[in-house]
């Protein structure tokens, strides 16, 4: 096991400024944690430039709009913040995680006046797969669960709550559901 993500050295762009990595925290009663009012992107930088940065920033803002919140930074400001994180951490080849969520001013399903936060972190994250294994071929399995119909959940948003299917599939043996009790 490597270093825990809360114990990495570096900086994270958090609500408009660079903060030390270990100080980029949110409260346990943050709306985004309890009600999944959280959207994110997963991006890569190669040679010091974020791959398709603007397209990812546009999708991040579109996902937030689907979840009925507006990220208060422009596409250009988000792109610049991602580049600043890459440059400030000295990571020309990195994984980036922009993430936006509703804050902790109010708990309850409806929290339209909660502050919208945005953070951008970057770290070295190599391929999930060993290069030799990739050349040999990688096996995949289908999860027991399927993405919900777009009429039942905002499936077009890249939202945190939609990833529980992936989490369950990757942590349970053979991706199979545990029996209900």
Beta bridge partners of 51: none
Set 61, 82, 136, 158: catalytic member: 158
Split into its structural domains, the chain has a count of 1
Tokens 């050295």 identify what position? 9
Question: Does 181 map to a domain?
Answer: no
Of 18-22, 79-83, 117-121, 160-164, give the lowest mean pLDDT range: 160-164
Taking residue 73's Cβ as centre, other Cβ atoms within 10 Å add up to 21
Cβ–Cβ < 8 Å for 96, 45: yes
Q: Higher model confidence: residue 23 or residue 5?
A: 23
- Mutual angle of helices 75-89 and 53-66, in 10-degree steps: 120
Provide the whole-model pTM: 0.83
Q: Higher model confidence: residue 110 or residue 91?
A: 91
Q: Higher model confidence: residue 161 or residue 27?
A: 27
Residues spanned by the domain of 59: 10-175
Question: Does 132 map to a domain?
Answer: yes
Could you tell me which residues come within 8 angstroms of residue 114 by beta carbon, excluding any fewer than 6 positions away?
Answer: 31, 37, 102, 103, 104, 105, 106
Question: Does 17 map to a domain?
Answer: yes
Beta bridge partners of 50: 45
Given this model, what pLDDT does residue 28 score?
94
Question: Does 5 map to a domain?
Answer: no
Can you give the CATH number for the domain in which 70 is found? 3.30.470.10
Catalytic residue check, 82:
no
Residues 29-36 have a mean pLDDT of 90
Classified as helix, coil or strand, 98 is: strand
Residues 55-64 have a mean pLDDT of 96
Question: Does 2 map to a domain?
Answer: no
């Amino acid at each position: 096991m490597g270093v825990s993500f809360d114990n990495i050295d570096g900086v994270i762009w958090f609500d408009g400024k660079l903060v030390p990595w270990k100080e980029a925290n949110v409260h346990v009663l943050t709306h985004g944690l309890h009600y999944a009012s959280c959207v994110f992107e997963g991006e890569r930088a190669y040679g010091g430039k974020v791959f398709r940065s603007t397209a990812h920033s546009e999708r991040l803002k579109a996902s937030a709009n689907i979840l009925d919140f507006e990220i208060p930074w422009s596409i250009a400001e988000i792109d610049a913040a991602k580049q600043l994180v890459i440059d400030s951490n000295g990571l020309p080849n990195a994984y980036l995680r922009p993430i936006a969520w509703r804050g902790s001013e109010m708990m309850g399903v409806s929290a339209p006046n909660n502050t919208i936060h945005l953070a951008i972190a970057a770290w070295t994250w190599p391929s999930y797969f060993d290069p030799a294994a990739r050349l040999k071929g990688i096996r995949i399995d289908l999860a027991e669960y399927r993405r919900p119909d777009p009429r039942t959940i905002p499936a077009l948003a890249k939202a945190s709550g939609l990833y529980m299917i992936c989490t369950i599939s990757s942590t349970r043996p053979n991706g199979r559901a545990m029996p209900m009790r």
